[in-house]
Structure 1
């Protein structure tokens, strides 16, 4: 848990602390949360807590660093290679199950996350938000 928390919470906090003074007033930070912040799962306690902390940090930094904007992107199940350690059969079964049950009826792609990051970086009236890029997975 410590490595995940250090990477997703402490690291961005330190980057914001040191980079914000050098950024223009219309600058923007994007952090990465995850769907487990909104829909915890058994065995994912540390990940859920870390992602919840990212969401809280996003809101706090948006207030602290204003007018610099701070947002987060919160991916769900995305086919990026993160699930490769499961092996082909288990990964395929997991993806099939999640695609069958989420409202988008598919697994996300890296491009879905990239588009959300670009949106968060360039939308000038968005701050303190955590954008779910999860196909509606936490809804079911």
Structure 2
């Protein structure tokens, strides 16, 4: 859910680029999900594949805390500013989904239940705030 990393195109890198280009940004505040670091997802998959018995069924994996796109953007900018005080945070405006043009409909609430992975295999959800700090260090 809401994957991000220091590689490729993703929401974090898009927000950093837009922060340099614009004085204000309108960000959706009524869609909630769990930002997830792609590196943590990769480790979770490897851990699952290394289990002594073959896991069966559907497993969900995502970040440990939910956020709206607006809250995620605030966290991105605040963390970027903490790491580099010259990072300029643009004005953020919270808007509803119906004010943002989308190519496809998005769910308002896309929280995944990761308890099966944790309960059966001890694989904990991604600490996305820790990962965000780490990837912002790498990007800068």
**Higher helix fraction (1 or 2):** 1
Using structure 2 for the length normalisation, give the TM-score: 0.30
